[in-house]
């Protein structure tokens, strides 16, 4: 079914909430839509956004909420469903409600039906957004940058307190969210599983913080601790380069061109050994 048959209408744009859209779990509150092979758009998933559309000649309305039991992830309610169940994805909300109404299993794409791919709807949702997060790839890891700063300090790669980024990786055998922050007096890495922070590491520079993460695991694994791991520094450099090229409040329009040096085999071992199982305090 082509998207023009959905008859989508944005009833309410909803709200950008700083503690959700620019915090540790911000990655859950933005969606990246691929316009062309080299062109993306970053769209906020706004609290209290309401969208109306039509499926099988029946009107559906989806509303996005902040869940009381899980504020770090948006919830989706289909107002057509009298039970008003909360779903974790728009796809589940639409397909489960459709099944209740028509007793037919469907596979509609929630983001597509809700209009995140529609230029007019996406532009309305982007109005008033001062800073658009963006994604970059560093050493085959996709990193989500949701806050930036600038300074004259070379050891911080000229990034100011306020910089924050995150990426997903397995830690101690479980998928985790790794959050890197530059604070006023230190650089910090926090590791989350689900919504719980399970580990924190800090240092005077991004590289130092990362080496603190690696130090004890490297010792256990018998790997050399003398090599300088460049992942943290490369990440911040790439983020700064991207923002300098596109502007600090830009929509993600094109993939940044990032020059990367190949890490040594032992650096790969250090990185993978640390995240494969973590280490005990």
pLDDT digits (tens, 9 = 90+) for 28-63: 999 999 887 777 889 999 999 999 999 999 999 999
Residue 184: per-residue pLDDT: 80
Residue 215: per-residue pLDDT: 55
Average per-residue pLDDT for the chain: 78
Tens digit of each residue's pLDDT (9 = 90 or more) over 261-279 = 444 455 455 545 544 445 3
Residue 38: per-residue pLDDT: 74
For 126-137, give the DSSP string.
HTT-S---EEEE
Least confident segment among 69-83, 100-114, 150-164, 174-188? 150-164
What is the CATH topology of the domain spanning 3-126?
Answer: Double Stranded RNA Binding Domain (3.30.160)
Q: Do 3-126 and 134-277 have matching folds? A: yes
Rounded CA-CA distance 32/197 in Å is: 26
Residue 195: per-residue pLDDT: 87
Is pLDDT larger for residue 219 or for residue 25? 25
Q: Does position 158 have pLDDT exceeding 80, yes or no?
A: no
Q: Does position 253 have pLDDT exceeding 70, yes or no?
A: no
- In angstroms, the Cα distances linking 254 to 33, 142, 190 are 12, 15, 29
Rounded CA-CA distance 40/10 in Å is: 21
Residue 199: per-residue pLDDT: 92
Measured in whole angstroms, the distance separating CA 79 from the mean position of its chain's CA atoms is 27
For 75, the enclosing helix (H) or strand (E) is: strand 74-78
Tens digit of each residue's pLDDT (9 = 90 or more) over 200-242 = 988 776 666 556 555 544 343 333 333 334 445 555 556 555 5
- The closest of 211, 173, 213, 177 to 193, measured between CA atoms, is 177
The stretch 248-260 carries a mean pLDDT of 43
Question: CATH: 3.30.160, 2.40.33, 1.10.3430, 1.10.3470. Which one for 134-277?
Answer: 3.30.160
Rounded CA-CA distance 155/158 in Å is: 7
Sequence-separated (6 or more) residues with CB below 8 Å from residue 126: 41, 43, 44, 132, 251
Residue 237: per-residue pLDDT: 57
Rounded CA-CA distance 234/206 in Å is: 10
Q: Does position 244 have pLDDT exceeding 60, yes or no?
A: no
- As given in the structure block, the two tokens for residue 117 are 């791919």
The domain segmentation of the chain, as residue ranges, is 3-126, 134-277
The stretch 167-187 carries a mean pLDDT of 89
Rounded CA-CA distance 16/125 in Å is: 9
The overall pTM is greater than 0.85: no
């Amino acid at each position: 079914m082509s998207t023009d048959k959905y008859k989508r209408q944005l009833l309410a744009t909803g709200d950008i909430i700083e503690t959700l859209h620019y915090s540790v779990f911000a990655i859950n509150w933005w969606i990246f839509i691929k316009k062309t092979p080299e062109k993306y758009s970053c769209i906020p998933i706004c609290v209290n956004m309401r969208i109306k559309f039509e499926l099988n000649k029946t009107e559906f309305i989806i509303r996005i909420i902040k869940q009381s039991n899980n504020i770090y992830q948006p919830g989706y309610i289909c107002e057509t469903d009298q039970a008003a169940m909360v779903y974790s994805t728009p796809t589940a909300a639409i397909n489960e409600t459709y099944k209740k109404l028509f007793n037919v299993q469907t596979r509609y794409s929630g983001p597509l039906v809700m209009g995140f791919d529609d230029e007019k709807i996406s532009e309305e949702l982007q109005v008033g957004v001062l800073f658009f997060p963006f994604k970059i790839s560093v050493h085959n890891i996709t990193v989500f940058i949701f806050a930036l700063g600038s300074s004259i300090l070379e050891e911080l790669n000229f990034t100011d307190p306020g910089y924050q980024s995150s990426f997903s990786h397995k830690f101690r055998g479980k998928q985790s969210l790794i959050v890197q922050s530059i604070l006023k007096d230190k650089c910090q890495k926090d590791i989350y599983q689900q919504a719980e922070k399970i580990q924190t590491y800090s240092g005077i520079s991004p590289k130092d913080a990362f080496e603190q993460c690696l130090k004890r695991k490297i010792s256990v694994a018998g790997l050399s601790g003398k090599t300088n791991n460049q992942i943290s520094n490369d990440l911040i450099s790439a983020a700064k380069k991207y923002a300098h090229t596109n502007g600090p409040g830009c929509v993600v329009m094109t993939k940044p061109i990032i020059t990367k040096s190949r890490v040594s085999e032992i650096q790969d071992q250090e990185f993978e050994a640390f995240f494969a199982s973590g280490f005990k305090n």
